[in-house]
Structure 1
Amino acid sequence: MTRTITRSYDTYETARSVVTQLEDAGVASSDISVIGRDGASTESNAAEGAGIGAGVGGAAGLLAGLGMLAIPGIGPVVAAGWLASTAAGAVAGAAAGGIVGSFTSAGVDKAEAEYHAETVRRGGSVVAVRAEPEHEATIVSIMDGATPIDRTTREAEYRSAGWSRFDETATPYRPPVV
């Protein structure tokens, strides 16, 4: 039975590296998704990529299919893969629940989906992989080898700042100026 494995990373560059490693290990591009902030995402160019479709991947790999997407409560992100297609449909009103609904429809439990959505909102990136049981160990090894964010620690940080769940009606997160 296929299982969805997700990990959040602090930087888009790390997520991008994970995607490349997964593809190099033979994971099909069609089974990988990435959603995150790459630093070049702006409100002005997010609408250009709002029509991301399922036709990403192919010989050039998943990252060749990256596009911009504006997600309610998050703002502009770069996205590719099956999860991005689902999120794009949710943005267009074709699916309920926005990004959290996209994760839960892929088999991620709601609490984890809320965490991943909030992580992207705060500037992180998420890689999600649909994995067959015989490939899970390799996929987990690659994803964990890139030092994903520790969910327990990060959720505690979010909660200490007043967070209780992802709110897609919130304005996109802006980190405090130090």
Structure 2
Amino acid sequence: MSSSVICTANTRQTESIIRNLKDAGFQGNDISVLMADQAQTRDFAYEKNTKAPEGATAGAGTGLVIGGTLGWLAGIGLLAIPGLGPFIAAGPIMAALSGAAVGGTLGGLTGALIGMGLPEIEAKLYESKVKAGNSLISVQSEDSNECERARIIFERAGAKDISKVGELSAQPVILNDA
């Protein structure tokens, strides 16, 4: 059964978490990141010292170039979520949110998180954290040991609201709520 470990983090923590997940051997297509499109996020997403137009995507009309730390994640791009604004997203959540953004569904992020198996109240908590400027990071795996390794990486980086949710589960397991 596929499970996901989810957390919220600030920009500095997000950078550390993504690097540590990569160094630990996690695959970019199993990691989702969602962050508000803000100046600090752009600075994090674009590292001038990289030579990475190969994983870079330009945001329509914004001049945003995403590369560097996020460049190896799958499906990275810029999207607008109705009622929330512009976001940088990567990984499996990008596909879920793209459909929600295009369709203009109510609570695009909340709906995508509910689709991942989170109860509505938890999904709304994560949405409020993202609205407040935090990143949402998720690692999906078939292996419970992999989920545990991801949880430890999240914890060591100081991430908040760490939850584990199974594909068939309607109840997340709150691992910390600091």
Aligned to 1:135: 146
Which amino acid in the other structure matches residue 36 of structure 1? Answer: M
For the structure 1 residues 141 and 72, does the alpha-carbon distance in structure 2 shift closer, same or farther, using more than 3 Å as the test? same
- Is the contact made by 1:4 and 1:107 (CA closer than 8 Å) also made in structure 2? no
RMSD: 2.7
Q: Deviations 1:76-95 (Å, cap 9, x if unpaired)?
A: 12111110221111000187
2:158 aligned with 1:147: yes
Count of residue pairs the alignment pairs up: 136
- State the Cα distance separating 1:150 from its structure 2 match: 5.0
The yes-or-no answer on 1:78 pairing with 2:78 is no
Q: Distance in 2 between matches of 1:146 and 1:67?
A: 24
2:16 is aligned with 1:6: no
- Per-residue CA deviation, residues 131-171 of structure 1 (Å, 9 max, x unaligned), is 221212211100111112358xxxxxxxxxxxxxxxxxxxx
| 1:97 CA displacement | 4.6
Change (3 A) 1:96 1:28: farther
Tell me the secondary structure at the aligned position of residue 48 of structure 1. Answer: coil
Extract unaligned runs of 5+ from structure 1: 50-59, 152-178
User: Residues 12 and 38 of structure 1 are in contact (CA less than 8 Å); yes or no, is this contact kept in structure 2?
Assistant: no
Give the distance between the partners of 1:124 and 1:94, measured in 2 at CA.
23
Distance of 1:120 and 1:2 partners within structure 2: 24
Alignment-mate amino acid for residue 72 of structure 2: G
Preserved contact between residue 30 and residue 92 of structure 2 (Cα < 8 Å) = yes
Aligned residues: percent identity?
Answer: 32
Kept after mapping to 2: 8 A contact 1:87/1:102: yes
Q: Which residue type is aligned with residue 6 of structure 2? A: T
Matched, 1:48 2:47: no
State the match for 2:16 in structure 1: 17
Instruction: Please name the residue that 1:92 is paired with.
Output: 102
User: Residues 13 and 84 of structure 1: is their aligned pair in 2 closer, same or farther, counting only changes over 3 Å?
Assistant: farther
Normalising by structure 2, we get a TM-score of 0.66
Segments of 4+ in structure 1 off by > 4 A? 94-97
Contact 2:82 2:104 in 1 (8 A): no
Give the structure 1 partner of residue 129 of structure 2: 119
Tell me, yes or no, if the aligned pair for 1:3 and 1:107 is still in contact at 8 Å: no
Q: Residue 69 of structure 1: CA displacement?
A: 1.4
How is 1:150-169 mapped onto 2 (pairs within 5 angstroms)? none
Instruction: Work out whether residues 73 and 121 of structure 1, in 8 Å CA contact, stay in contact via their aligned partners in 2.
Output: no
Please identify which structure carries the higher strand content. 2
Aligned pairs (5 A) from 1:26-41: 26-37=25-36, 39-40=38-39
Q: Which amino acid aligns with 2:30?
A: D
Distance in 2 (CA, whole Å) between partners of 1:38 and 1:14 is: 16
